Amino acid sequence: MGKICSFTGHRVQKLTWLSDFNSPPSQVLRDLIKSKILQKINDGYDYFISGMALGVDMMCADIVLELKNDYNSIKLECAIPCENQTQFWPEEQRQKYFEILNRADYINILNKHYSRNCNHIRNQYMVSKSNCLVAIWNGSNGGTKNTIILANKYNIPVEIINPDECLF
């Protein structure tokens, strides 16, 4: 295994336009993320970790899987905070989630049941395994910011894509 890159980013609650991966802003963001992943592949990264939250995490995982067609040496790990993460998700999103899991190289379920800190445990796991973190973050408070702070604490380089730049 070469270098490891993890993703963190906003959920659809913060970026409502992400609920439709085909919306124009979603397509712009997808292109920016794809470009960043290709840059990482060219820099020797071959292992990518997604926390599989609804929104940016799933988009990043989907892009890695798409790129596996041309770069078959890259791997995707899905780091899942708890078994029943999708319990209250819309059916369409659950289908996409399980489609990604079926195509992932590794699935790591970090907690059996939901707890108040299971997402933090997942984020801590991803940072601890990573050589870099790609954050899709608009500067707001929340889990993405906390993951960036954690990466900075452990001197893990963070590269930020601001999703607000995708709006026109």
Predicted local confidence at residue 100, as pLDDT: 97
| 43/21: higher pLDDT | 43
Mean per-residue pLDDT over the chain, rounded: 92
CA distance 12 to 131: 27
Residue 129 has pLDDT above 70, yes or no: yes
| 55 within 8 A of 15, measured Cβ to Cβ | yes
Q: How many separate domains does the chain show?
A: 1
What average pLDDT does the segment 88-109 reach? 95
Task: Classify the phi-psi angles of 49: left when phi > 0, otherwise alpha if psi is within -120 to 50, otherwise beta.
Answer: beta
Query: What is the tens place of the pLDDT at every residue in 28-72?
Result: 899 999 999 999 999 999 999 999 998 899 999 999 999 999 999
What average pLDDT does the segment 143-168 reach? 92
Which helix (H) or strand (E) element contains residue 8?
Answer: strand 3-9
CA distance 117 to 126: 14
What residues make up the domain containing 76? 3-166
Report pTM: 0.94
**CATH label of the domain that carries residue 123:** 3.40.50.450
